[in-house]
Structure 1
Amino acid sequence: MSTPTSTPPSDASVDQNPNGPDRPENAADSAVRTVEKRTIDHVPLDERHGRARDLFTVWFGSNIMLLTITTGALSTALFGLPIWAAVIAILIGNIVGGTVMALHAAQGPQMGVPQMLQTRAQFGSYGSLLVVVLVIFMYLGFFASNLVLGGQALGNATGLSTSTSIVIIGVISVVATIVGYRLIHTVTAILSVVAGGALLLSFIWILAVHGTPSGTWSGGSFAWAGFMSTVSVAALWQIAYAPYVSDYTRYMPRDTGVRAAFWGTYSGCVIGSVLPMLLGALVGSALPKADTLDGMGSLLHGISTGVFAIFAIGITATNAMNLYCGALSTITVGQTLFPKWKPQALGRAVVSIVLFAIALVPALISADDFLSNYENFLSVLLCVLIPWTAVNLVDYYLLRHGEYHIESLFARDGGHYGRFNWNAIACYFIGIAVQIPFLSTTMFTGPAAKSMDGVDISWIVGLVVICPLYYFLVKITGKATALESDTPVAA
């Protein structure tokens, strides 16, 4: 496989590892206290560091949070499933969705650029803006959702108002985003132990100490609509991370390997998601009429303050990941429109603050009706993400086999990939269109979903249609030969 190229960096990165790309730094050399200088520029091979096992803690630690618990609670509190059906649906959704998500992880070490910048190779430099802008809204949606839950938890633990707590959570997240990549990796590793311990203690306390209310294990009723909705929500939770994963692997050595990157990401994200979702399902089954946080507070009486404090602090790291990816994507849009703009640490800081200010408004407004708003947000998000992930994976694994001309990704005219790739753009809109009849949400239920008693299989239809469609469109239009013959210029 040819070695992808990059435009040589104009200055040295503060993240460079003086011990070499494959050897860990000692404590004195740690860059945890150093602000990351790079943004969306290519990471040269001599600045790569880290191991695939580091990916486990990034995704395990970042997923043990209140939003994951709330997502699991949808299965029993909103969809009305019995606990046994909720467990099965959560497992299926995470296992399947995690496979799609983790396949993107290998792209970071191979290409050394952020995930959404790579979209230029599939959609063209200007065509990619459609997808990148939508993904920015996704980052802001998750950021705002985390602000609400983190603020409520911090308020419960400290007595502060929810609004004040929301602002505090947001400010801490902004600071972590400004420091950047390595701090996020370090904090999520710590959270894997601390938040993981709090999660384990929560299960023990509810099941063995406090006990569950009567009806917890026999409540709810099975319905395919609720079951498939839970599968879809769990699958989306994983697929929604697809635009993130290369952002956290792009500094890794290029020889990290597809399998190692896949399994490090997959195991951390799936295990780290399933466990808190199961806790949420348990809380929803035990107290289906209660708000998720109120239900947790009741079931964890005696230790709730400590657990909420840990989860509230932990959510700042997860939100830093949302804001960090959102900042990189915003910079990608800005640099497409204004190619002379070369933002580094200061540019990322300014963008992060602006995004925080934008997300703060819906967080403060939606705090009182969070669960319903969040479920609708997930449904719409799934519809627009599926065609992108299908195009990206087919393009990377089946058409170009991981070989990309990196310099073209930074060219305003798209270089080898042009300004618009109409095959990808057409597939994107077709992908959204074919899903609409199968959507089942509180806002809209398509005719196909109605005929199946509200069962939502839209994301499955989207993947099944778009993957082969994009592949054969590229082959038929003669683009495949050109794509596979791109020869990267020596760095």
Structure 2
Amino acid sequence: MSYADTSDTYGSEVLHVEPHGIDPIPQSERHGRVSSLFTLWFSANLEFATLTTGVLGVGVFGLSFWQAAVAIVIGTVVGALAIGFLTTFGYRWGLPQLIQSRAAFGYFGNFLPGILNFLCGIGWYTVNTVLGVYALQWLLPIGFLPNLIIMIILQAIISIYGHNMIHWVERVAVLILLVIFILVSVYAFPHIHFNIAENPHASAFSGTSGSMILSIAISLSYMMGWMTYSSDYSRYFPRDTKSTKAFAAAFWGNVIPAVWLELLGTGLSTFTSVSKPTDLVSGILPHPLAIVTMLAIILGTITANVINIYSGSISLLSIDVGIVRAVAPKRWVAALLVGILGGILSYVGGQSGYYQNYSNFLFVLAYWISPWAAVVIGDYLLVRRHRDEIDDFYDKNRPLRVGFWAFLIGFACSIPFFNQVMYTGYFAKHYPQIGDISYYVSFVVAFVLYALFANRQTAQVRP
């Protein structure tokens, strides 16, 4: 079966626009070391959005420093475990993450996750770009829109080149970002109020248990934002790549920087109240270091957003309908489209209410990813673990499969447990002490339902 035109040799070239889209990567194109996974994820998480995630536990949910710290560690570790596991799927089939979920959802059933992930890619791009523009404005006060255009151009160039360029940029950026955020941490440490008490007057305080659960969910949500991208950056690795090494590289590449910067954000929020996220660091640093830190924020925005643009474009290509093929016939065109749409949203969303908009976005993001992950993980463990053929991922003869229904039912069952400003479900409203447990409800329901139909699904995919 032919999947795409792969006549253009890509190899390990960096200054070569990636010719592959959603087609499987042939063995002749396989290359790379798992160490690049570590630097990719480490660099992508050394960004200001990670730091502002840590602000929410104390600043929005009213926890003490140590309560927020525990929530950060739990949420990050749980999410990174899933990322590490999903990463090992990439080089097995040579396929992007959203194409792999076709096996469980069906060819057309997978359009729904594809659309949602495309929108989430744009959403993350928007969140990060707003932060980068804030920093660029601090350095170059020429107005929000001109600085936004600069950020869009910088990010688009890297994303258009694709996989190899992204890995290269992350490897180069990681050392620069590492040094700068170490300096910021050293300057911030003496100011942190480690013994700050709970704040019942915080805008989203839901009692100790409720706020803890909400804060765990926030850190988990941040990790969930990467889950649907996991295989996109390991699919070029050789087929015989050691799973333990790939898992460890992805796991620690996410856990170390995410826990570190979220704890830094938590610490900063114990002694300062800000209207703009960049004020968190500009107020405590000497001016020369503040300048360098703003440059780091801009660089961190780029390292995170090239991943959002790239994987968002892959998700768009997975929606195999005429209008998408017409608008985005190639991966690089789809990447450019993600950048443009994200830029428009950045202009609208960057004018006010960053923290509230950000926390709402994180919750909405994870509401659909949790049941999606349950289905994909269940499909691998129960159906596809010992199967290597890839035709099933491109088979249009089975448009809807049981994973699609397990996903929808799991999501529907979680709605009464939603707990956010835009909508509070029945259980969350009447029992605020449970916080928001919708992720766990949707995951369990979707996984159990899929498991019940696993034998039937196995029979369907047998040649």
TM-score bin, normalised by smaller chain: over 0.9
CA contact (8 A) 2:131 2:277 kept: no
Give the equivalent residue in structure 2 for 1:380. 364
Query: For 2:423, what is the secondary structure of its paired residue?
Result: coil
Residues 66 and 160 (structure 1), Cα distance of their counterparts in 2 relative to 1, 3 Å cut: farther
Where in structure 2 are there 5+ consecutive unaligned residues? 200-206
Give the equivalent residue in structure 2 for 1:24. none
From 251, 257, 264, the counterpart of 1:279: 264
Query: For 2:407, what is the secondary structure of its paired residue?
Result: helix
Offset from partner CA, 1:247-274 (integer Å, 9 cap, x none) = 1011001111332221111110111211
Offset from partner CA, 1:147-189 (integer Å, 9 cap, x none) = 1001001111233322222221111111001111111101111
CA contact (8 A) 1:331 1:343 kept: no
Residues 230 and 80 (structure 1), Cα distance of their counterparts in 2 relative to 1, 3 Å cut: same
Residues 338 and 361 (structure 1), Cα distance of their counterparts in 2 relative to 1, 3 Å cut: closer
Residues 327 and 218 (structure 1), Cα distance of their counterparts in 2 relative to 1, 3 Å cut: same
Matches of 2:195 and 2:185 in 1, distance apart?
A: 15
Query: For 2:318, what is the secondary structure of its paired residue?
Result: helix
Matches of 1:43 and 1:155 in 2, distance apart?
A: 41
The amino acid of 2:168's aligned partner reads T
Query: For 2:226, what is the secondary structure of its paired residue?
Result: coil
CA contact (8 A) 1:431 1:466 kept: yes
Matches of 1:307 and 1:183 in 2, distance apart?
A: 24
From 98, 113, 131, the counterpart of 1:131: 113
Give the equivalent residue in structure 2 for 1:12. 7
Query: For 2:10, what is the secondary structure of its paired residue?
Result: coil
Matches of 2:459 and 2:385 in 1, distance apart?
A: 12
Matches of 2:323 and 2:238 in 1, distance apart?
A: 28
Offset from partner CA, 1:440-480 (integer Å, 9 cap, x none) = 112222222234325111111222222122111233xx232
Residues 239 and 328 (structure 1), Cα distance of their counterparts in 2 relative to 1, 3 Å cut: same
CA contact (8 A) 2:406 2:447 kept: no
Matches of 2:326 and 2:339 in 1, distance apart?
A: 22
Give the equivalent residue in structure 2 for 1:365. 348
Q: Is the aligned partner of 1:265 residue 2:260?
A: no
The amino acid of 1:116's aligned partner reads L
**Segment drifting more, 446-455 vs 70-79:** 446-455
Give the superposition deviation at 1:398. Answer: 2.2
Matches of 1:316 and 1:402 in 2, distance apart?
A: 38
The amino acid of 1:473's aligned partner reads F
Offset from partner CA, 1:393-451 (integer Å, 9 cap, x none) = 0101222115253234234x24xxx1111x21211111111211111112222222234
From 434, 441, 444, the counterpart of 1:464: 444
Query: For 1:238, what is the secondary structure of its paired residue?
Result: helix
Matches of 2:326 and 2:420 in 1, distance apart?
A: 42
Offset from partner CA, 1:116-140 (integer Å, 9 cap, x none) = 1112111111111011101111100
Matches of 1:419 and 1:393 in 2, distance apart?
A: 20
- Give RMSD over aligned pairs: 2.2
Query: For 1:255, what is the secondary structure of its paired residue?
Result: coil
Residues 342 and 44 (structure 1), Cα distance of their counterparts in 2 relative to 1, 3 Å cut: farther
Query: For 2:9, what is the secondary structure of its paired residue?
Result: coil
Query: For 1:106, what is the secondary structure of its paired residue?
Result: helix
Q: Is the aligned partner of 1:58 residue 2:27?
A: no
Give the equivalent residue in structure 2 for 1:353. 336
Q: Is the aligned partner of 1:310 residue 2:310?
A: no
CA contact (8 A) 1:154 1:308 kept: yes
From 270, 276, 285, the counterpart of 1:300: 285
The alignment-based identity, stated in percent, is 27
Matches of 1:268 and 1:392 in 2, distance apart?
A: 22
Give the equivalent residue in structure 2 for 1:248. 233
Normalised to the residue count of structure 1, the TM-score between the two structures is: 0.87
Where in structure 1 are there 5+ consecutive unaligned residues? 1-5, 18-30, 487-491
Matches of 1:339 and 1:102 in 2, distance apart?
A: 34
CA contact (8 A) 2:162 2:332 kept: no
The amino acid of 1:444's aligned partner reads Y
Give the equivalent residue in structure 2 for 1:332. 318
The amino acid of 2:191's aligned partner reads T
